[in-house]
Amino acid sequence: MAKLTKKRKDALAKYDSSQEYSFEKAAEILKDITYTKFDASVDIDVRLGVDPRKADQMVRGVVALPHGTGREVRVLVLCSPDKEAEAKEAGADYVGLDEYVKKIEQGWTDVDVIITMPTVMAKIGKLGKILGPRGLMPNPKSGTVTLEVGKAVKEVKAGKIHFKVDKFGIIHTSIGRVSFGSDKIAQNAQELIATLMKLKPSSAKGTYVKTVHLSSTMSPGVVIDKSTIAGI
């Protein structure tokens, strides 16, 4: 068994890891047990009763967190010249097409989200091998392939996040920072859960939301009491 560090021992001593808590109480605990010198990310892990190997049980989607994620999102817009001004005005960090396609082909992926248009997807398709494994491939379902590039940029910058179930049936995503108020972390978490409930596959059998954990960068996980979560 891995040896516990002093900081982890101190963290585990501050709460009962065998107990389950509400989102707000869990957020308060995370604030108390996070020892990083930086403003740590608050992450949520939701284990779903789905089989991601079945196409109709692949849960993926987008949620606009009411309080954002607290981190700067770097956005690249790959668009035709007539849309460049709209993308820049909306706050995109990088805007262009051929020069960025070439950069990506050479291995550059220093962005968090890529937004593009249906009319230029033919040029983007060949980048799938590079962008796919990094979760950067634009997708119409997640709103990153659209003619309204300005609107898409603003939504992403305001706290719209994309999520996708992994091969173990777990949704893992960041929903804020430890500097956020506990109520704001709780509201962001609740918004994600509400979105997941809307996306429940009709073919999923048994319990849909199995377990929920909150954690921060480097902290132990805190188990959420499902009876305190609205709508499940």
Q: Stretch 188-214: mean pLDDT, rounded? A: 96
Say which CATH class 75-157 falls into: alpha beta
pLDDT value of position 137: 94
CA distances from 2 to 79, 199, 220 (A): 49, 37, 14
Q: Using an 8 Å Cβ cutoff, are 15 and 33 in contact?
A: yes
Mean pLDDT over the full length of the chain:
93
Assess whether pLDDT exceeds 60 at residue 3. no
Write the pLDDT tens digit of every residue in 68-122: 999 889 999 999 999 999 999 999 999 999 999 999 999 999 999 999 999 999 9
Q: Using an 8 Å Cβ cutoff, are 149 and 20 in contact?
A: no
Assess whether pLDDT exceeds 70 at residue 13. yes
In 3D space, the residue among 140, 138, 171 whose CA is nearest the CA of residue 60 turns out to be 171
Q: In the chain, where are the structural domains located?
A: 17-69+161-228, 75-157
Q: Which fold has domain 17-69+161-228?
A: Ribulose 1,5 Bisphosphate Carboxylase/Oxygenase (3.30.190)
Q: How confident is the model at residue 1 (pLDDT cuts 50, 70, 90)?
A: very low
pLDDT value of position 35: 85
Q: Using an 8 Å Cβ cutoff, are 58 and 165 in contact?
A: yes
Assess whether pLDDT exceeds 50 at residue 11. yes
Q: How confident is the model at residue 131 (pLDDT cuts 50, 70, 90)?
A: very high
Q: How confident is the model at residue 2 (pLDDT cuts 50, 70, 90)?
A: low
